[in-house]
Amino acid sequence: MHFTGRTWRPPYEAHSVIIQATSGCTYKKCRFCNLYEDEDFHMSPLSVFEKDLAEIKQFQPYTRRIFWTGANPFAMSYENLKLRALMVRDYLIKCQTIAMFASIRDIQDKEVWQLQKLRAMGINGLTIGTESGDNDTLELAGKGYTASDIVEQCQKLDAAGIEYYFVYMTGLAGRGNGPRNAVNSAKLFSRLNPYFISIDSLTLFPDTELYRMKQEGRFIPAGEKERLKELQILMENLQIRTHLFANSSSNFHPLEAYLPKERDSAVQEIQYVIDTEQEETMAQYRNNLKSLG
């Protein structure tokens, strides 16, 4: 198998077969992110992609779900996505789902009829690092799109029947702004149909713009308990049936909940952590983290 550079997949894709479709990120401007700073965006050459598919066919011919790595393979044009999706079908006859990371920007250049065709070819399960649905937070984070862009592009995915997952990052709005971010994001997410929402919490690394802003006093990070309260507010304001995962390493306390059914017990569980843990212990946990996620 050919993997170059950083290979990153979400925890919930642990059971998917992974293959490199692209490497690097087309954007590299999010102020909290240092994941792909040393890599330019590349598509894996078709011949290399095909060799990897042949290898998967040899060892895992009954693969049902495949995850294309790269920060945003969905940035590829419709034609390039189509070529690769059809190639997956040629090699892995049982494969039902081709999942990958996608940015809101990557959906913008695709028409609904193209998304429908891609869905029919097996592309489904897009992880979208929205991080927030609040305009001020999106701008602070340098995401390069607005809340209304999220609605407009995800409605296209809904129309095409493509399943998608959101990522929300607690602490991203800075000290004192978590409640606003949570309420506005919950309102926006509730207008859409994320199959689940994955929660990360901001960790600042020295080679990021947000870290520099902190050093210069232009960004004040939220405290750890403040972030847990933000998560409670997010859950309390979500008005959709969805599954929430807060179990990546950036979360001090791992949590999973089906909403709205388990909302009250999840909010209480977080309250117990707020009441019983020391802020310093939680801050120390974050200081020991080595990477985002």
- Backbone φ and ψ for 35, nearest 5 degrees, come out as -65, -40
- The residue from 103, 124, 232, 250 that contacts ligand SF4 (CB under 6 A) is 103
Question: Would you count residue 129 as binding ligand SF4 (CB under 6 A)?
Answer: yes
Q: In this complex, which beta carbon is closest to ligand SF4, that of residue 129 or of residue 171?
A: 129
102 forms beta bridges with 128
Q: Shortest distance, CB of residue 33 to ligand SF4, whole angstroms?
A: 3
Question: Would you count residue 27 as binding ligand SF4 (CB under 6 A)?
Answer: yes
Q: Shortest distance, CB of residue 36 to ligand SF4, whole angstroms?
A: 5
- Window of 32-40, 80-88, 213-221, 232-240 that interacts with ligand SF4 by CB under 6 A: 32-40
**CA atoms lying within 13 Å on the CB side of residue 249:** 11
19 forms beta bridges with 68
Measured CA to CA, the distance from residue 101 to residue 198 in angstroms comes to 13
Q: Between 52 and 91, how does the x/- string for binding to ligand SF4 read (CB under 6 A)?
A: -------------------x--------------------
Measured CA to CA, the distance from residue 175 to residue 166 in angstroms comes to 23
Q: Which run of H or E residues covers position 81?
A: helix 78-91
Nearest-CA neighbor of 167 among 193, 129, 201, 204? Answer: 129
Q: Shortest distance, CB of residue 145 to ligand SF4, whole angstroms?
A: 10
Question: Would you count residue 36 as binding ligand SF4 (CB under 6 A)?
Answer: yes
CA dihedral over 26, 32, 36, 39, signed as positive or negative = positive
Q: Shortest distance, CB of residue 267 to ligand SF4, whole angstroms?
A: 28
Residues of this chain that interact with ligand SF4 (CB under 6 A) are: 25, 27-28, 30, 33, 35-36, 71, 103, 129
